[in-house]
């Protein structure tokens, strides 16, 4: 099916965030060196759902029809100038689709602060596996307060004919609420649809979490310290 202007007009669905809660660090003293965050982000889902393509599009602004299946885990880095005083570096972990059945996911998930779960809108079986990926994720990694890490669901390949529940916005909203997804987006790595939007939503949610820990800014290095108690000092980023 051709990707039409009408399908481009589809608005992404944000379920558990409010724009009034956005974290704004731009008011921080501009004389300080930019604050740098490093966030580990997982990209998980069934084999062939387009995880690698999404990462390539987001990081390198590039798309190819020809990717070899990821074996184990691959990595990519993305740097964001969030505002004039904040630099965010994302370490994207591209987890192979078959890894949910292996014993290494606990190691791969360790210290992650956010995740994308990806399914292919043309293959309903990949959506059926989403809940299991989310359950596996929640069982193996959590925030310091024990709550699930922010997780955004990506309904990928939306430039093609969609099958299954993804055709019902109401049902998708309900599914995401039941499974505690922060948001869901229809995405296309090929057409570059909603990938930047989804990443911005996920990073915003992570920043809300890190803001709880009253970050201390290092004037000399511009790095972030995440501490519950302001009197404790620790170099670098706890993630």
135-189 per-position pLDDT tens digit: 999 999 999 889 999 999 999 999 999 999 999 999 999 999 999 999 999 999 9
pTM of the model: 0.77
Q: What is the pLDDT confidence band of residue 211, given thresholds at 50, 70 and 90?
A: low
Cα torsion through 227, 232, 233, 234, rounded to 10: -50
C-alpha closest to that of 110 among 76, 73, 80, 78: 73
**pLDDT single digits (tens) 86-144:** 899 999 999 986 655 566 778 889 999 999 999 999 999 999 999 999 999 999 999 98
State which H helix or E strand residue 26 sits in.
Answer: none
HSE-up of residue 169 (Cα within 13 Å, Cβ side): 8
């Amino acid at each position: 099916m051709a990707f039409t202007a009408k399908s481009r007009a589809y608005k992404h669905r944000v379920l558990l965030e409010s724009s009034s809660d956005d974290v704004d660090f731009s008011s921080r003293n501009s004389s300080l060196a930019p604050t740098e965050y490093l966030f580990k982000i997982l990209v998980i889902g069934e084999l062939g759902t387009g995880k690698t393509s999404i990462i390539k599009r987001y990081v390198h602004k590039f798309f190819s029809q020809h990717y070899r299946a990821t074996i184990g885990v691959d990595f990519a880095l993305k740097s964001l100038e969030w505002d004039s005083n904040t630099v965010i570096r994302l370490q994207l972990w591209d987890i192979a689709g078959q890894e949910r059945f292996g014993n290494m996911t606990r190691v791969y998930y360790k210290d992650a602060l956010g995740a994308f779960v990806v399914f292919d809108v043309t293959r309903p079986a990949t959506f059926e596996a989403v809940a299991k990926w989310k359950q596996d994720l929640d069982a193996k990694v959590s925030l310091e307060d024990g709550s699930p890490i922010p997780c955004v669901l990506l309904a990928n390949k939306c430039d093609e004919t969609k099958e299954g529940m993804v055709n019902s916005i109401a049902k998708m909203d309900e599914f995401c609420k039941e499974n505690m997804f922060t948001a869901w987006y229809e995405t296309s790595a090929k057409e570059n649809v909603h990938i930047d939007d989804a990443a911005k939503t996920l990073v915003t949610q992570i920043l809300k979490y890190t803001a709880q820990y009253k970050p201390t800014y290092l004037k000399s290095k511009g790095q972030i310290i995440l501490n519950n108690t302001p009197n404790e000092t620790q170099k670098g980023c706890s993630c």
